[in-house]
Amino acid sequence: MTRRFDPAPLDPAEVHQLLDLARRAPSAGYSQGVHFLALSGAALAGFWRTTGADEWFAEVQGGVLQAPVVVLPLADPVAYTSRYSEGDKAGHGLERAENWEVPFWLTDAAMATQNLLLLAQDRGLGALYFGIFRNARAALDELGVPGHVLQVGAVALGYRAADDAPSGSARTRPRRDPVDVIHRDRW
């Protein structure tokens, strides 16, 4: 994760290309209910303001606020409940969101988001996935996102600052040992 960005803008065509590639992730029933909303300029300023994330980052990781673009991956549960009402998928009660053991709209959104992180890395760009902890719905409303469509966090995107260095929890916590997380035949 990059937490110090260079404020240089990204080419909107490059952002579009990244998002078009990132959306080619696995999708349950090929429902494709994942959307990306790319924010820059005034829209991004409004997002920072409404969520209060600008105050948080200014205190702890000011370099994040230099990112020229923040992408909101968004999940539309209705795309999934509709798709799973169709003949080849019906019969499991999945036309109702509350019946899903695993909400695949969130799974799909996470997979597409990981694609975006990998693509950014591949292109030599910096990216940070971060959570939106305050006023997320208000921010989505301001941006015209339909009320049933859910946020799953945000991805700051841009060029890495020259002085970007590893930061965040991975600096203070070791990677867990494989024997603690990889299980064979039985947990």
Ligand X SMILES: Cc1cc2nc3c(=O)[nH]c(=O)nc-3n(C[C@H](O)[C@H](O)[C@H](O)COP(=O)(O)O)c2cc1C
- Comparing CB distances to ligand X, the nearer of 8 and 170 is 170
The CB density around residue 157, as the number of other CB atoms within 10 Å, is 28
If binding means CB under 6 A, how many residues of this protein chain bind ligand X?
9
Determine which residue in the list 1, 37, 72, 75 makes contact with ligand X, applying CB under 6 A.
Answer: 1
56 binds ligand X (CB under 6 A): no
Candidate segments 22-30, 73-81, 125-133, 136-144, binder of ligand X by CB under 6 A: 125-133
Candidate segments 23-31, 42-50, 97-105, 124-132, binder of ligand X by CB under 6 A: 124-132
Torsion sign (Cα): 48, 53, 57, 58: positive
Token pair listed for 116: 């975006």
Determine which residue in the list 129, 135, 142, 143 makes contact with ligand X, applying CB under 6 A.
Answer: 129
Q: Nearest to residue 136, comparing CAs of 77, 72, 76, 79?
A: 72
Q: How far is the CB of 121 from ligand X (least distance, A)?
A: 10
Residue corresponding to tokens 């290309």? 17
Determine which residue in the list 44, 130, 140, 157 makes contact with ligand X, applying CB under 6 A.
Answer: 130
Q: How far is the C-alpha of 65 from the C-alpha of 15, rounded, in Å?
A: 18
Of 156-175, which residues contact ligand X (CB under 6 A)?
168-170
Residue corresponding to tokens 């994040």? 64
The CB density around residue 128, as the number of other CB atoms within 10 Å, is 24
Residues that bind ligand X (CB under 6 A): 1, 3, 128-131, 168-170
